[in-house]
Amino acid sequence: MKIGVLALQGAVSEHIDMLKRAGAEAFPVRKKEEIEKIDGLIVPGGESTTMGRLIKAFELEETIRKRFSEGMPIYGTCAGMILLSSEIEGFDQFKFGFIHLTIVRNAFGRQVDSKEIDLTVKGFDTPFHAIFIRAPVGKNPGANVKVLSEVPEGIVFARENNVLVSAFHPELGTDLRVHQYFLDMVRKFLTNKEVL
Amino acid sequence: MEEKYGTVKVKRGLAEMLKGGVIMDVTTVEQAKIAEAAGAVAVMALERIPADIRKEGGVARMADPKLVKDIMNAVSIPVMAKVRIGHFAEAQILEAIGIDFIDESEVLTPADEVHHINKWNFKVPFVCGARNLGEALRRIAEGAAMIRTKGEPGTGNIVEAVRHMRIVMDEIRKVQNMAEEELYVEAKELRVPFDLLKEVKELGRLPVVNFAAGGIATPADASLMMQLGADGIFVGSGIFKSSNPKKRAEAIVAATTYYDDPKILAKISEDLGEEMPGIDIRDLTDKDKMQLRSE
């Protein structure tokens, strides 16, 4: 399994380390040709406005859309979640619209409100220790969106078909379960080779 | 559900989210908006950019909280602001207004010539300048969540940032090759805690992100610093002292991402207009050098 981490800006190496620990081949991708060759894509945490600008400026949008429509699994953390969403409340900025979710940016407040929480996640036996940094939340999920975890502020972990999003940063911790969940999606995509 | 705020993970985590990005100095709301639209990952709100502080002289202090708040309200990206070295009251004020990151900076006039701020006392993360591994680890021991080279701010001259980045990288490589028993003496000589030095040996890098700052003025400068091992870039005077700030800001952002692709760098370096006028470091006396303001 070859997983690319979109390396325009943000916490790229942390995802690569986690993916390797989980047994996948992982490397940074920042060009069209590189995105053509992968089996799964992670859009990391960072600044969504910065990444959005670079996706447009370096014409990566079309390639990522094409791979999405082929069913390739894509996982977005934090800024990545914002970029994959269909709607961003109060901001007119670039987004893919791969998951039907309205994003509230900086939903918890500013950096002093960033925090660590033990999160209950659907399908996980024990809580997941989640790190939130100037994190967004989702609301108004579309009919096909499976909500995997929620806090009082909104949705923080969700999936729609081949797209997974989390408002928190599993790549900053040591628990591999979220990355394993994503790698399972990739495994199924490779065996079925059809849209999930 | 247990919640923990202001932890090491949360503080260092924000710095990690800024990696591969450009943090730009801004002095007005309008400049902050230009920086955000150009792709900055954060802005540094201040009253005067380093080049003007250098020119005008006098005591340079924390910016007016009103200006900082106006900038915080105008952009969605993190906002940083500078405090004088050792001036923990200025830091308390910035934390109270909800600043995202504090730069305890040699660009401002130091308030304490012996002690830095005890940064563990704050929920908000700090970035500090360093010229070598010893300085970097002393700042981390005091609670810094991010390190940057000092360079020589406001000069538009990259030479000092290059010097500081090379020294830090060289010292890390040296520590990696040391036997563990040699670390005790090395820690004593560098005046740093043994455990931090051991962590550097194990990681092969600093335990926090390390940005380049001080004198970056062109896309090529950003590329150079990234290739020397910087995790990201601060641009102070280089953008808004140039003739076309928007275009230059966009180009430096792109250069920080595609730092290892000379073809892309060539394209984005074209036709950027006048750069900020630079200063030859040899024309500065020790009194003029901001980097010598702390150790």
Please give the structure tokens belonging to residue B161. Answer: 């940032």
Work out the pLDDT band at B276, boundaries 50, 70, 90.
confident
Name the residue of chain A whose CA is nearest to B260's CA: A30
| CA–CA gap between residue A113 and residue A47 (Å, rounded) | 17
Per-residue pLDDT of B10-58, as tens digits, reads 999 999 999 999 999 999 999 999 999 999 999 999 999 988 998 898 9
Residue B148 neighbours by CB distance under 10 Å: 29
| CA–CA gap between residue A103 and residue B186 (Å, rounded) | 50
Name the residue of chain A whose CA is nearest to B41's CA: A47
Residues of A known to be catalytic: 78, 169, 171
Name the residue of chain B whose CA is nearest to A14's CA: B16
Domains and CATH numbers, chain A: 2-192 (3.40.50.880)
Mean pLDDT for chain B?
96
Per-residue pLDDT of A112-161, as tens digits, reads 999 999 999 999 999 999 999 999 999 999 999 999 999 999 999 999 99
Respond yes or no on whether ipTM tops 0.85: yes
pLDDT at B256 over 80: yes
C-alpha torsion angle, residues A125, A131, A134, A135 (rounded to 10): -20
Q: B254 and A58: CB-CB below 8 Å?
A: yes
| CA–CA gap between residue B117 and residue B120 (Å, rounded) | 9
How does strand B146-149 pair with strand B209-211? parallel
User: Pick from B3, B18, B253: which is nearest to A115 by CB?
Assistant: B3
pLDDT at A9 over 70: yes
Best B8, B19, B94, B256 residue to mutate vs chain A (most A CBs within 10 Å): B19
User: Pick from A57, A114, A115: which is nearest to B254 by CB?
Assistant: A57
pLDDT the model gives residue B275: 86
Q: A111 and B100: CB-CB below 8 Å?
A: yes
**Distance (Å) from the C-alpha of residue B14 to the closest C-alpha of chain A?**
6
In the three-class reduction of DSSP (H, G, I as helix; E, B as strand; rest coil), residue A107 is classed as coil
Residues of B known to be catalytic: 82
10 Å CB burial of residue A94 (0-12, 13-18, 19+) is middle
Q: B1 and A45: CB-CB below 8 Å?
A: no
Q: B17 and A118: CB-CB below 8 Å?
A: no
**Distance (Å) from the C-alpha of residue B2 to the closest C-alpha of chain A?**
6
Per-residue pLDDT of B64-99, as tens digits, reads 999 999 999 999 999 999 999 999 999 999 999 999
Work out the pLDDT band at B1, boundaries 50, 70, 90.
low
DSSP assignment string, chain B:
--EEES-HHHHHHHHHHTTT-EEEEESSHHHHHHHHHHT-SEEEE-SS-HHHHHHH-S---PPPHHHHHHHHHH-SS-EEEEEETT-HHHHHHHHHTT-SEEEEETTSPPS-SS----GGG-SS-EEEEESSHHHHHHHHHTT-SEEEE---TTS--THHHHHHHHHHHHHHHHHHTS-HHHHHHHHHHHT--HHHHHHHHHHTS-SSEEEB-SS--SHHHHHHHHHTT-S-EEESHHHHTSS-HHHHHHHHHHHHHSTT-HHHHHHHTTT--PPPPP--GGG--GGG-GGGG--
Work out the pLDDT band at B277, boundaries 50, 70, 90.
confident
